[in-house]
Amino acid sequence: MQDAADTTDQPRRDISRYAVPLGIIAFCAWAYWLSTQFDRVPPILKRGMQPEDFPQLVIGLIIMLSVWLLFRDTSAAPERLTKMVQMTMGLLIGFLLVAEIDLFLGLGLFAGSLAALWGERRFWAVFLVGLITPIAVFFLFDGVFEVRFPRGLLTNLWYG
Amino acid sequence: MDAAILNGLLALADPHLLMLIFVATLGGVLVGALPGLNATTGVALLLPFTITMEPIPAIAILTTIYCAATFAGAITAILINTPGTSASATTCLDGYPLAQRGEAGRALGMAAVSSTIGGIISVVCLMAAAPLMARAAYNFAPPEYFALTVFGLSMLATIGDGSPVKNILSGAFGVLVATVGIDLLTSIERFTFGMNELSEGIPFVPVMIGVFGISELLVQADNLHVERKQVIMKAIKLPSREDYSRVWKTILRSSGIGTFIGILPAEGATVASMIGYNEAKRWSKKPEEFGKGSLEGIAGSEAANNSATGGAMVPTLALGIPGSPTAAVILAGLMVHGLRPGPTMFTEQADFAFAIFWSMMLVNVIFFFIGLWGAKIFARVTLIPIQVLWPIVFIFSIVGAYALEQSMMDVWIAIGSGILGFFMRRHGFSVVPMAIGLILGGMLETRLGQSMVMLDEKWWLMLTRPLSLFFFVLTVLALFGPTIWGRFFKQRSPLKSTGE
């Protein structure tokens, strides 16, 4: 049974083993191309290096190490992402979208939903993390640290 | 220098600062005891709170959190067999068996005493070594600084239990990220995609919050099933005179080991505690007791991990090269406050430097008492459900990321770094080298550029300068030494660390 599972996982392991270094190399190729688009300073004003020299040096090093990983890395592929992690990531993306409407609305919804998603069933606990904490943090930063938060649906109620 | 030592001590006479240090010690112990949080995450999350403060209280708070959280890991290690920080992983081996035998108080007492002695010894070394190191580095020219920074980055290879190649790759990625923004040498924009927010580069603080805080939140999403059960603890009982006579040599040895490991760039408390524990076992008259409840094991591990905190601050303040992952975040804090760690710190800001040293000394004394008499309460903190804890941590992370520049771009950067950090960790890439690479990247490029100007664009002339050559040789040894050593000599017992 164990062997069968291992056999099923083998292609995924192979893909994962090659996907990461190849992904890094592809990213580096893109970054290298971007670096060739930088403005250059005239030779008379040059102070040791052109702006693209250092990034290209680092990109070269990353590519070299990735090639090494491609052929020599034998580490096992990670387990599949669990549903819980996927849903938590989904909530993070949801937070970013709601934060465009109001940062604290996003924080409250995210915190309350995360607590519920992770199995918190006590109402007071969800209430604490979803409502009391964001409000307390807002007044702490607004009043004590004088941070001006972006205007939004809820923050406008305070800022007027 | 004597005046600076005295002025630093006098700075601590401010009751407001003393109160802040006391509260920060409580906060640090809390951070170290909370599941999933460690010194690095705690310092990263608290950094934005210190921005509006004066430099001395701000950095004193960060170093206090560092010292206190490193100690507090032992409380959870002993009482619930879960190290609060990875630096206390070896404390579990003997602390928990002692707690199960009803001797939790004795184990905690030994952890508190060893941590305090280790911490104080390392701060004394810090006070002596940092100015000396700074004086030695005072005449460094850009090529020497460049070579030193390369050496510091090469030490990243041994961070964490991932492969050295992955660690260096992660560090190089951090250096690449540091090139975003206006090039300081030519004033030309790079990788900004026309966004004004990126012209000053990728800010450190949101990235730190993302890779240490938000990525951990995603890791915790997989740990919801972990149950934490606390061992019932009777009254705290300090170790007896017999216990002390058995462990004093171990404490001194581990303090020396921890301080030395801490001084090495990038190596932190985790590596120190492992070596301290191994050496305690090797020198012990009763090695068979290790793993079954040996007080020497606790002393060896705890003295080493706490002494590494002081040691780690030596290169951080004297050279601007972080001695540990947490020291890297503190270095970012120093930069955010406009301070320039390096040789000039002990000539131009000596009072500041010594005030920080004295505050570290003080925190070691405070957590001794907190550790002994507050352990029961802090142990209860570990039982806070992560379903409540992590949403609150997230709120503080996001507001902290936003607060520094009051920009939503920083919130996006924090979340992006968090998701990236999570996937890096999944695939065996430690996020610590990336964070350190980001901090040191700008320095590395500037010094290379200055060296090129100085050497008339002949980079190979760096190898003709004795000190530069020395650091390059050290770099080669740091990168290839373990492989060469492993081929010729049989390894006694492989050490593994989890970073910090």
Write down the ipTM of this complex: 0.90
Instruction: Assess if residue B272 is contained within a domain.
Output: yes
Backbone angles phi, psi at B202, to 5 degrees: -80, 120
Indicate the number of domains in chain B: 1
pLDDT, residue A110, reads 96
Single pTM value for the model: 0.85
Instruction: Assess if residue B293 is contained within a domain.
Output: yes
**pLDDT above 80 (res B215):** yes
Span B149-197, pLDDT tens digits: 998 888 888 776 668 899 999 999 999 999 999 987 788 899 999 888 8
Instruction: Assess if residue B495 is contained within a domain.
Output: no
pLDDT, residue A83, reads 93
A-chain CB neighbours of B172 within 8 Å are: 58, 61-62, 65
For A3, residues 6+ apart whose C-beta sits below 8 A from its C-beta are: none
CA–CA separation, A66 and B375 (whole Å): 47
**pLDDT above 80 (res A22):** yes
What residues are paired with A47 via a beta bridge?
Answer: A49
Q: Which residue has the tokens 């921890």?
A: B258
Restricting to B residues 224-243, those with a Cβ less than 8 Å away from any Cβ of A are: 224
pLDDT, residue B499, reads 41
Instruction: Assess if residue B491 is contained within a domain.
Output: no
Span B95-117, pLDDT tens digits: 888 888 878 888 888 898 899 99
Q: Select from A73, A89, A103 the Cβ nearest to the Cβ of B419.
A: A89
Question: What percentage of chain A has pLDDT greater than the value 90?
Answer: 59
Q: For residue B419, what is the nearest residue in chain A, using CA coordinates?
A: A89
CB contact under 8 A, A51 and B408: no
CA distances A46 to B143, B229, B296, Å, are 18, 64, 60
CA–CA separation, B74 and B302 (whole Å): 8
Per-residue exposure over B201-239, b if at least 16 CB sit within 10 Å of its own CB, e if not: bbbbbbbbbbbbbbbbbbebbeeeeeebebbebeebeeb
A151 touches chain B (CB under 8 A): no
pLDDT level of residue B35 (50, 70, 90 thresholds): low
Span B237-261, pLDDT tens digits: 667 888 888 889 999 999 999 998 8
CB contact under 8 A, A141 and B169: no
CA–CA separation, B39 and B36 (whole Å): 10
Judge whether B236 and B373 are in contact, CB under 8 Å: yes
CB atoms < 10 A from the CB of A75, how many?
15
Instruction: Assess if residue B492 is contained within a domain.
Output: no
What is the pLDDT averaged over residues A1-22?
64
Residue A118 distance to chain B (closest CA, Å): 6
Q: Select from B172, B398, B457 the Cβ nearest to the Cβ of A107.
A: B398
For A136, residues 6+ apart whose C-beta sits below 8 A from its C-beta are: none
Restricting to A residues 93-122, those with a Cβ less than 8 Å away from any Cβ of B are: 95-96, 99, 103, 107, 110-112, 114-115, 118-120
Closest by Cα among B179, B101, B263, B122 to B443 = B179
CA–CA separation, A93 and B412 (whole Å): 10
What is the pLDDT averaged over residues B22-46?
85
B386 touches chain A (CB under 8 A): yes
Closest by Cα among A138, A143, A12, A1 to A79 = A12
For B75, residues 6+ apart whose C-beta sits below 8 A from its C-beta are: B29, B32, B33, B84, B108, B111, B371, B375, B378, B379, B382
pLDDT, residue B114, reads 92
Per-residue exposure over B346-371, b if at least 16 CB sit within 10 Å of its own CB, e if not: beebbbbbbbbbbbbbbbbebbbebb
Closest by Cα among B42, B23, B60 to B397 = B42
* Domain of B225, in residue numbers: 2-485
CA–CA separation, B192 and B201 (whole Å): 8
Could you give the count of Cα atoms lying within 13 Å of B278 in the half-sphere of its Cβ?
14
Judge whether B305 and B116 are in contact, CB under 8 Å: no
Between B474 and B80, the higher pLDDT residue? B474
CA distances A140 to A148, B55, B57, B229, Å, are 11, 21, 19, 34
B387 touches chain A (CB under 8 A): yes
CA–CA separation, B324 and B322 (whole Å): 6
CA–CA separation, B89 and A50 (whole Å): 47
CB contact under 8 A, A103 and B391: no
Instruction: Assess if residue B187 is contained within a domain.
Output: yes
pLDDT level of residue B500 (50, 70, 90 thresholds): very low
Output the CA angle B291-B297-B301, nearest 5 degrees. Answer: 120
Tokens at B96, concatenated = 């928990």
Closest by Cα among B408, B23, B434 to B215 = B434
CB contact under 8 A, A48 and B452: yes
A-chain CB neighbours of B415 within 8 Å are: 92, 95-96
Span B313-325, pLDDT tens digits: 888 888 888 888 8
Judge whether B362 and B226 are in contact, CB under 8 Å: no
Instruction: Assess if residue B127 is contained within a domain.
Output: yes
CA–CA separation, B331 and B40 (whole Å): 12
B403 touches chain A (CB under 8 A): yes
For B464, residues 6+ apart whose C-beta sits below 8 A from its C-beta are: none
